[in-house]
Amino acid sequence: MPFSTYMQQSLGRAEISPEGPLEAGSHVPLTITYTAGPFGIDDTGGLKFSWRTASDSGRPQMSDPKAPNYVTAVASNGARLDIEYNRNNIRPWVNTIFIRVMSGFLREGDRIIVRIGDPEHGSPGYRLQTCCDDDFQFKAFVDAFATYDFVPLPDSPVLKLVPGAPVRWKAHLPTLRRLDEPFRLAIVPEDRWGNPSDLADQDVFISPDRPVLGLPERVTFSRGDAPHVIDGLRLEHPGDLRIELRDAGGSLLGRSNPLRVVEETDVRHFWGDLHGQSNETVGTNTVQQYFAFARDRAFVDIVAHQGNDFQIDTALWAEINRLSAAYDEPGAFVALPAYEWSGNTGMGGDHNVYYATEGRPIHRSSRVLLDGEDEDGKVCPTVNDLFEALQGEDAVVLAHVGGRYADISVGHDGRIERSVEVHSCWGTFEWILHDAFDLGYRVGVVCHSDDHKGRPGAAYPGAATFGAIGGLTCYRMEALDRKHLFKALRGRNHYGTTGTRLYLDVEARLDTGAQRFDEDPAFGPTGSQPVKSVQMGDIATTTDGQATLACEVLGSAPVERVTVFKGNRPVAIMRGYGESDLGRRIRVVWEGAEYRGRSREVYWRGKCSILGNRIERIRSFNFFNVDKPLWLRDDGREVAFDSVTTGNFAGFDAWISESDGGDLTFDSSEGRFSVPISRIGLDDHVFDAGGLGKKVRIFRLPDEIESWQLAFETRVELDPGVDNPLYVRVTQEDGHQAWSSPIYFVP
């Protein structure tokens, strides 16, 4: 603990009302009462009430008594108090209400009453954190001596935050299994903020699109129930399966992801989220709850914990190792011992370290928030120091973009660092993959969450500046265990998504064949085999001047497009519809980031107007903050929006009354332009807004997209003498995306 502990027991106490349970994300007036200890608080001394960096609780304000999060404070003895909100405390207790005692002082027994969301003048209360938490603390600090030495109280006010009523239903299936293998269906009700809800009280009717052996027609949820799991399911014949969930009146509650069942396959699909934190570092809830949520609430197959190294002491590293061993169950669930090397950006930035076995050292970037000397590893200030320390270890490293981003130009070792993280709760970062191409690296694509809210595998951004749903990676493995996971990681045999579980298969076929390498030949001699086709992640060489790229997608929603890339350049866009299928639906998309590091968020606030036409209805995508919905106004002539992007995209569809009439004007904080509706067709109209991929795209869609499945082949020219990385990016109608790990044709 990097705070002073001087005379902790003599500095008073703080109590909160109500303590809960309270519904996560709701508005509630809170009262914290501080009672001074024997020292009181001297003139210009003060209090801090702080909560965790990652929390998306409402931002306290002292200017509008009728608005949410209005804060007041009074002293029982009449001393004048100054109040401010800042983020100037030591990590992880960054969000802070700071109260300074002015024109007076406190004696023992005097009180300060702090009302957060004070309802006296009309405030609806304080907007609570949107994720559940058994131990949400307002960490209390006291500067009794007016020295600005804030000492934490031994006990701080604590809230218990619980889920609300369910508003959506998830149905999780695997995505690829053999016919002789049983599979499970997991049904999860979620509240409006993405928390699994135990408040469902209804029958749920299950409608598969083909017969499923062992599947009941309905399941009954009662208040207090956990998610419902149905094991031992089978198909009689190979095929693709989707399942719908409906209520007693027949209304659709939710749809499953697609499952493909085949007679034979060398690999199966296993889904993982290998990146997130708990409250022992900067996140929410405990390490044990973290592992349990991934397995029992998110229903992923693979998980790893990724605390910042400079906050992991020896005891916590031992606990992470103990829990990864306890939760790891070959054939059922894989848990890895792991940590995040969190070096400064200029020294390499964030990188994720994964071990295949417990008991290995933690080589930290620094010990800035830790006391004592190294007992369990050594300090590696630069990423190249880290790579050197990991030589000979059964370990894999992934490059990550978080608050800090991995600057892979500073250091990269392809023998250890096999992939880059293209998407997480921080946003979408396809640029790091393109950086790798430019630098001549041969890396795969992963997507994980970097979840800070205690929900690995099902991480929602809530109301904070985390601008995206957490990602998932589909690992193509022969069996579910650590050995085969590390084989898939080292072979880049995986694809990543923005949190959905679609099915994706990509291969490249050669007319005369190729030599597929066992390892990247950039690092020395390696074996190879002659092949006629290669899969995502493979590295091969060929004398053919072209390759046929074959792709099949089974979407979890209708497929809007699949973009084929050769390196950084798109070479084909494939859709399940053409010009003749377009209707009266216009799609408006805004996307991008300000730059690569912190404060990358772009706040898109404005309106989209129609002149000489009318909007009949709208539907948004990637609007994650339910406090800020899209809305239609001015009798269907204007759409108002307030959203954030962090490298990802958001927007809306508008169904207009006349197919070709009038003009569309986009007017936002990031720019203004107009386009005649008659000119909006299949291809994107692109309006650049600067920054890092910051732009607006407008195009037309069919009134309804019917293509949930898309399969195609396309010929791609291979440039001689250079690497040719081939990959696809899938974009669904609902705003989700996926990326295949590249296939590398190398000289």
- pLDDT tens, 475-528? 999 999 999 999 999 999 999 999 999 999 999 999 999 999 999 999 999 999
Which amino acid belongs to residue 468?
A
Strand-pair category, 46-51 with 139-143: antiparallel
pLDDT at 465: 62
Q: Which residues of 431-457 are buried (b: 16+ CB within 10 A; e: fewer)?
A: bbbbbbbeeebbbbbbbbbbbbbbbbb
DSSP character for 522?
Answer: G
Question: Under a CB-based contact definition with an 8 Å cutoff, are residues 303 and 272 in contact?
Answer: yes
pLDDT at 688: 96
Please give the Cα distance from 454 to 276 (Å, whole number).
8
The two three-digit tokens of residue 630, written as one number: 């899209």
Q: Model-level pTM greater than 0.85? A: yes
Burial class of 27 by CB neighbour count within 10 A (0 to 12, 13 to 18, 19+): middle
DSSP character for 267?
Answer: -
Paired with 444 in beta bridges are 419
Q: Is 431 helix (H, G, I), strand (E, B) or coil?
A: helix
Please give the Cα distance from 190 to 608 (Å, whole number).
32
CB neighbours of residue 680 within 10 Å: 21
Q: Is 38 helix (H, G, I), strand (E, B) or coil?
A: coil
Encode pLDDT of 42-60 as tens digits.
Answer: 999 999 999 998 899 999 9
Question: Under a CB-based contact definition with an 8 Å cutoff, are residues 117 and 30 in contact?
Answer: yes
Please give the Cα distance from 138 to 335 (Å, whole number).
32
The residues, any chain, with a CB within 8 Å of residue 704's CB and separated by 6 or more, are 558, 583
Encode pLDDT of 640-697 as tens digits.
Answer: 999 999 999 999 999 999 999 999 999 999 999 999 999 999 999 999 999 999 999 9
Please give the Cα distance from 51 to 606 (Å, whole number).
32
381 upstream amide cis, omega within 30 of 0 = no
Please give the Cα distance from 598 to 87 (Å, whole number).
15
Paired with 701 in beta bridges are 585
pLDDT at 1: 56
Half-sphere exposure of 303 (CA within 13 A, CB side): 37
Phi first, then psi: what are they for 208, rounded to 5°?
-80, 155
pLDDT at 375: 80
The two three-digit tokens of residue 158, written as one number: 């604590």
pLDDT at 464: 64
Question: Under a CB-based contact definition with an 8 Å cutoff, are residues 60 and 116 in contact?
Answer: yes
21 upstream amide cis, omega within 30 of 0 = yes
Phi first, then psi: what are they for 155, rounded to 5°?
-130, 130
pLDDT at 466: 74
DSSP character for 523?
Answer: G
pLDDT at 66: 97
The two three-digit tokens of residue 237, written as one number: 């014949």
Please give the Cα distance from 745 to 747 (Å, whole number).
7
| Nearest CA-CA partner of 375 in 316, 324, 323 | 316
Calculate the CA 377 to chain-centre distance.
Answer: 30
Q: Which segments of the chain have a pLDDT < 70?
A: 1, 464-465
